[in-house]
Structure 1
């Protein structure tokens, strides 16, 4: 049973693509209301790990447990990928897992033929079957919150990259998830557009949202994360408070990675 102060617990997750083993028995704990940053070199498995948390990638083995919803009243949910089940049963498990989290993608992934408002309300109305007028009101309030109230009827191609990423965050919030998952949320942005996105994420952290963020930006991780998890070669090499892992890492692989990124700045 997942302790009540934890939003997420991962145990022994493995994942291979053909002969390439990407995850080698990952354990991960995310306390409720905390921000955990996954860092590591390209190919370390961090994005695959993130995508495994909501079934965008289906692990070969291991378990993912999401704690009971603090405000939704949902019970804890545990999916054991090591136990064989039918395709139908696995699909139902993945659907339940996806109901608990929302992903903010590196490349925004907005529907180009839909307006900003239509992008935001699509999931809550079509998937969650919530009342359309209620969802629209909530969406408009969220857009106003991130400074995009005047863009509700715009199309993605009319927005800057930073604006599109803020819409992506609003789209995730509109689903009312227990977990917010971010895959390199600022890496596709021009430097002058990063601050607006970081400000939104920082505000969410201060409000107590539980977040798992994949990033290669050490300054971002240092500023945002309660805990940093360094992955390399499909395993967790080091984890701990951001101040420790990013300033005084204990493992040689972590030290080399941090030195290299700092040298590139």
Structure 2
């Protein structure tokens, strides 16, 4: 399965003017973001800068107050062309939709993207295989036999097939996170979202997960990654976006932002965390 088989031409993600407040705390202040097909964007910044809120907004887990999110290219082929799919454009600043319509829009976002969480979020009462096939079978209504075959192939590639009948409590944190990645891939998303995928892992387990993500980048998956692993971001990301206070302070190629940042705030952040580079 190639990610380029599942997305139309052009940018996979376009975000314009994304804003979000929780009470009096405005956590996103007009964020613009674009991710070309097959590219990796890393979001970095201090705690509370709005990084995770962006991911949750892209996956339909948060409802922004304003802004638009487009998943799929605006210049996609005509809908009459076999295999073509119109881009999904969600305008959060337009006329307020009904609850039913809003739920439909957020569900559509989840259909286009898949999220890998910090805390794995596996169903504890289900086996590894059952966790992986739950979404494709129950939500996407795909044939169970097809989904199981694909899930076993994905588990093989991350070295987890022999654990397919195990339950999450029988796995290490690194193993659970690899299952979380497989669960996301099994949904065949256009966009992969990672929220600090190694933050809950013991140091000796981090590399196994980062290797899997690097391989996905090399295969051409389109990804947005929130991470504090700046060395990993430098090696994997095409663009790094540094956020602070709900705004984008600096963005650019990973080598530039992480080795020679222009903004003083970025410089201070990088000096503090990027001591290994």
TM (normalized to structure 1)?
A: 0.96
Q: Which residue of 2 aligns with 1:243?
A: 255
Q: Secondary structure of the residue that 2:274 maps to in structure 1?
A: helix
Q: Does residue 1:62 correspond to 2:67, yes or no? A: yes
1:149-181 deviation digits (Å, cap 9, x = unpaired): 100000001001110000000000000000000
| Structure 1: distance between partners of 2:122 and 2:83 | 26
Correspondence for 2:92 among 67, 78, 81: 81
Correspondence for 1:132 among 144, 149, 165: 144
Distance 1:72 1:154, change over 3 A: farther
Q: Secondary structure of the residue that 1:6 maps to in structure 2?
A: coil
Q: Which residue of 2 aligns with 1:23?
A: 28
Q: Which residue of 2 aligns with 1:221?
A: 233
| Structure 2: distance between partners of 1:46 and 1:8 | 16
| Structure 2: distance between partners of 1:219 and 1:263 | 9
| Structure 1: distance between partners of 2:84 and 2:121 | 30
| Structure 1: distance between partners of 2:276 and 2:258 | 15
Q: Does residue 1:197 correspond to 2:209, yes or no? A: yes
Offset at 1:4? Answer: 3.8
Correspondence for 2:270 among 246, 258, 261: 258
1:110-149 deviation digits (Å, cap 9, x = unpaired): 0000000000000000000000111011101100110011
What number of residue pairs does the alignment pair up?
Answer: 263
Q: Which residue of 2 aligns with 1:162?
A: 174
Task: Show structure 1 runs of 5+ residues with no match.
Answer: none
Task: Show structure 2 runs of 5+ residues with no match.
Answer: 1-7
Correspondence for 2:12 among 4, 7, 15: 7
Q: Which residue of 1 aligns with 2:187?
A: 175
Offset at 1:109? Answer: 0.4
The 4+ residue runs of structure 1 with deviation greater than 2 A are 68-74, 262-265
Name the Cα RMSD after superposition. Answer: 1.6
Offset at 1:74? Answer: 2.2
Q: Does residue 1:116 correspond to 2:121, yes or no? A: no
1:179-229 deviation digits (Å, cap 9, x = unpaired): 000000111111111111111111110110000000011111111100000
